Chains A and B, each alone.
Chain A
């Protein structure tokens, strides 16, 4: 190999640079920049209307950006129509061609690429085997179940060996039990093929379980782009903190003492490292604590650091019990106790003190 410039560019499969798209006066995608590494599974997660579907349509070429540029494998693509790009798309409603057999559906993209007939037959069969439906080639799409149709849609998108694949809420029309199975299967196939994947969902547990990285979107902007665990433990702002999982929000006043932020939450005083309470945060702040960062301890215990209260309700959820606690200073807190021991130990009406794992706290 000859000398070449810095290699890392080659590692980026998809690069979105300052892309803007408006509808009327609404900025559906507002100055979004993202870089996705080759082979990475990235999820765009957000509530409906957050711009994630618009962003997907921009990448696929169904919409054009007003400004900014999208690069696939280093080449700008905004000048290319959807049919000139080499990007596979799997749609929420499958969008299989109803007048073609399953095999013809899968073969469509190969025919468009003028692949030879025997080669098409071979690759179609290979693709059907990959999604574990090798016998279904002659069927019509409507003769298949929803899950089977979605697997065919995946095979159809992958068989053209696209540079990346986009999945638009692919499992939202599939019932819950099958959905979990499909998630595992998609992840397995994705890892086998090693294809760069952009997955769209509004289902946070789906996003957390499948993704290498997640881009949380709201109001057309990426709120945070990081690995699932960071998203959960270190949300970048109050939107992400509230959107992902359940969380307790406690109003407090903040001041800095050395390398600690001191939070006055009514009668309770909490100290956290300043790294967890960004300097930009207002004096009037919110303390965010996950239910599993809170633990019930006997009243008067030395471990108590978040005041005292009384159990108002128990929510049994199989793997854990959530205690809804009315704190003496007025907060309504959710505590998560693993197992089921808490059911007997902290009955409704019991007095308790609360221990918070402050390493898990965030302040905004």
Chain B
């Protein structure tokens, strides 16, 4: 080991430790606060209790927000997989006029503030006399998550050997059959990964959702925001801890079945 290595290795370990601490520390603080006894968030708590978890699970607005959120996210993620897949497929496989434009439009939500989208949709909905129902919320989430699904499917498409398409064609498979029997099965992990990200992003989305929901359609993050405006007790912290746990479990299970490492990596075929 050279002198440089001897210094570099501990320095690297220290850097990773600091980075990890930065990322996880806020969550750790929130989780600890959730177990406090007092009806105000304090760190570190001076007495311990589980009662805020009980309140988080029984508070009516949270229950309704949970159901609304699952409903909206289920629709938004499923629709985004359909739209994102077709768009990614079209952009990758076919040369057509306006291809670059389509790609730019579909990816644009990445650069447009969620606030802008929320306000814009709200104004549009009222202009056209649309009630602030679930469809507007789903549409809003769909626009926000499609770019992520598209990216995910696009990566999976790039992983598919283009010669497979030719091989299938030479064996007599028309284009639709190539899509259904060759590309779709090979895209499945990418589609599942895209759906997963879409669902989580949609479920956690707040800024745009705030504008397009009302009392009956509000999702969990909006309900949490409204709660925080009135109360300062650790219920929020308890709810956050539960959400972190649920999301982590969800991801672990998904990883077991899908292999997220496969979705997030590009092998080179071209």
Contact = CB atoms under 8 A, between A and B. Distances in A.
A199 B44 CA distance: 76
Nearest to B269: A93
A97 B182 contact: yes
B51 to A, nearest CB: 52
B169 A82 contact: yes
A95 B172 contact: no
Nearest to A168: B163
Nearest to A86: B172
A97 to B, nearest CB: 6
Interface stretch (A105-113, A225-233, A316-324): A105-113
B170 A89 contact: yes
B221 to A, nearest CB: 38
Contacts of A97: 164, 167-168, 182
B192 to A, nearest CB: 14
A91 B163 contact: yes
Interface residues of A, number: 26
B169 A61 contact: yes
Interface residues of B, number: 17
A156 interface: yes
Interface string B169-186: 111111101000010011
A340 interface: no
A176 interface: no
Contact of A156 (B161, B163, B171, B177): B171
A81 B182 contact: no
A134 to B, nearest CB: 21
21 contacts: A61-B170, A62-B169, A81-B174, A82-B169, A82-B170, A83-B172, A83-B175, A88-B170, A91-B163, A91-B166, A95-B164, A97-B164, A99-B185, A108-B168, A108-B173, A109-B171, A112-B171, A112-B172, A112-B177, A157-B171, A160-B171
Given A83-B168, A93-B163, 17 more contacts: A61-B170, A62-B169, A82-B170, A83-B170, A87-B170, A89-B166, A89-B170, A95-B164, A95-B167, A97-B164, A97-B167, A109-B172, A112-B171, A113-B172, A156-B167, A156-B171, A157-B171
Interface of B: 161, 163-164, 166-175, 177, 182, 185-186
Going nearest first, the 4 A-B pairs with the smallest beta carbon separation are A109-B171, A112-B172, A95-B163, A82-B169
Interface of A: 60-62, 81-89, 91, 93, 95-99, 108-109, 112-113, 156-157, 160
